[in-house]
């Protein structure tokens, strides 16, 4: 089959929330024909999953009420929702002195911050034992931004089981080109080569994992690409737990990190991802019942494992920094949590970078 050539002003590589919101923002100064999303048909974004005919957002992607993004026109026509309500179970079976904590590790950072002992218990469940020795510098950064600094961080919950980002982007009708494989990106010629197309762009905004982008561009990198996963069990129930309630489980012997009610009859339990495939459903069902004793008719629905969820270390390595500079010189903008390899939420991204 012959290769077709496409010309476009703004090419968005990746089809997640960051790309779709970028598409919406670019529409202010561009027409639909000026923007094209390239979507890998083999790696679908996890916007929602289906259970018995109903769609749910599996990831708790909650906008921040105080943020510029939430107050922008992206949310003009979106149903209003209240903030989530958060509670913590009693800290049990946990004493930080039982753990050998190395200087410079995420655990030692947490302990040096007042009142964070409970967070260390939750942190160990979320990040596993390596946080006792490794810095997890991205996580430290996120804690400073979100919890130690006093900037507003009120999280707006789901509407009818869906992230309200989902409602916001539903009104878009983006131009999307599916591809099965990218052969290379020629940053000097400003071309993306797929199996079937050559896309000639003026600007390339990439939300695919950063090291994959550098490989495609033939640029060097040697930074730490470790990432953490997320693991969920979903349960349906009849009554007894309100929509957008969140309970953090501070019993160190429990494999649950937190429980979210997605709807008045459906919830998710986020579990220790280092125990993927080893956690008995009945153990989790019983513990959810203890955490929310008013729940009636709790029944397992399905599980979900999402491998790449959180980048862990900051990029400080010289060859990667040099490659970032090369990308910038050539109108390539890495963007988003995986695109920039930064443990960020959507409201923290610098949207001015895409223009």
Cα–Cα nearest to 86, from 46, 47, 122: 122
Tallying the residues shown for the chain, one arrives at 355
Selected binder of ligand FAD within 8, 11, 18, 120 (CB under 6 A) = 18
Question: Which residue from 157, 162, 144 is spatially nearest to 70, judged by alpha carbons?
Answer: 157
**60, 260 in Cβ contact below 8 A?**
yes
Instruction: Indicate whether 172 belongs to the interface with ligand FAD (CB under 6 A).
Output: no
3-class state of residue 339 by DSSP: helix
Distance separating alpha carbons of residues 87 and 64, to the nearest angstrom: 18
221 binds ligand FAD (CB under 6 A): no
Tokens of 79: 């149903």
Q: Decide if residue 10 touches ligand FAD (CB under 6 A).
A: no
| CA distance linking residue 50 with residue 59, whole number of Å | 13
For residue 79, the minimal CB distance to ligand FAD (Å) is: 18
Residue 71 interacts with ligand FAD (CB under 6 A): yes or no: no
Q: If binding means CB under 6 A, how many residues of this protein chain bind ligand FAD? A: 27
User: Strand 197-206 relative to strand 191-194: parallel, antiparallel, unpaired?
Assistant: antiparallel
Residue 49 in the binding site for ligand FAD (CB under 6 A): no
Q: Which residues contact 207 (CB under 8 A, 6 or more apart)?
A: 12, 13, 14, 16, 18, 19, 22, 335, 336, 338, 339
Query: In the bound complex, what is the minimum distance in angstroms from residue 7's beta carbon to ligand FAD?
Result: 22
Among 10, 19, 126, 244, binds ligand FAD (CB under 6 A): 19
| Greatest extent of the chain over all pairs of C-alpha atoms, in Å | 65
Pattern 312-351, binding to ligand FAD, x per CB under 6 A?
Answer: ------------------------xxxx-----xxx----
- Closer of 148 and 306 to ligand FAD (Cβ): 306
Tokens 């019983």, located at residue: 286
> Considering the rule CB under 6 A, would residue 62 count as an interface residue with ligand FAD?
yes
Quote the least distance from Cβ 296 to ligand FAD, whole Å: 27
Residue of the chain from 61, 101, 250, 327 that contacts ligand FAD (CB under 6 A): 61
In DSSP terms, 35 is beta-bridged to 10
234 in contact with ligand FAD (CB under 6 A): no
User: Which spans of this chain sit near ligand FAD (rule: CB under 6 A)?
Assistant: 14-19, 40, 43, 45, 59-62, 207-209, 212, 230, 306, 309, 336-339, 345-347
């Amino acid at each position: 089959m012959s290769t077709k050539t496409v010309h476009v002003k703004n090419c968005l590589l990746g089809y997640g929330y960051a790309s779709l919101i970028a598409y919406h923002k670019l529409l202010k100064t561009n027409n639909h024909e000026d923007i094209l999303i390239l979507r890998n048909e083999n790696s679908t974004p996890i916007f929602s999953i289906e259970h018995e005919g109903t769609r749910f957002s599996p990831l708790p992607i909650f906008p921040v009420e105080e943020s510029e993004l939430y107050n922008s026109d992206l949310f003009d026509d979106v149903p209003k929702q209240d903030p989530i309500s958060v509670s913590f179970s009693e800290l049990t079976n946990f004493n930080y002195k039982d753990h050998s904590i190395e200087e410079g590790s995420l655990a030692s950072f947490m302990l040096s911050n007042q009142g964070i002992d409970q967070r260390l218990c939750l942190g160990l469940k979320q990040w596993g034992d390596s946080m006792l020795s490794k810095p997890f510098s991205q996580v430290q950064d996120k804690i400073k931004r979100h919890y130690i600094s006093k900037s507003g961080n009120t999280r707006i919950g789901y509407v009818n089981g869906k992230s309200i980002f989902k409602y916001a982007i539903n009104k878009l009708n983006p131009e999307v080109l599916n591809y099965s494989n990218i052969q290379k990106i020629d940053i000097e010629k400003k071309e993306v080569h797929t199996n079937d197309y050559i896309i000639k762009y003026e600007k390339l905004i990439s939300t695919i994992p950063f090291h994959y982008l550098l490989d495609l561009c033939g640029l060097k990198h040697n930074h730490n690409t470790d990432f953490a996963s997320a693991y969920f069990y979903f349960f349906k129930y009849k009554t007894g737990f309100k929509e957008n309630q969140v309970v953090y489980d501070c019993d160190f012997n429990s494999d649950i990190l937190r429980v979210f009610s997605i709807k008045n009859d459906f919830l998710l339990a986020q579990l220790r991802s280092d125990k993927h495939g080893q956690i008995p459903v009945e153990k989790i069902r019983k513990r959810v019942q203890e955490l929310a004793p008013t729940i009636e008719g709790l029944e397992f629905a399905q599980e979900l494992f999402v491998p790449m969820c959180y980048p862990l270390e900051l990029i400080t390595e010289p060859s990667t920094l040099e490659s970032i500079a090369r990308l910038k010189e050539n109108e390539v903008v890495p963007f988003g949590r995986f695109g920039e390899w930064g443990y960020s939420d959507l409201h923290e991204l610098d949207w001015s970078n895409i223009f």
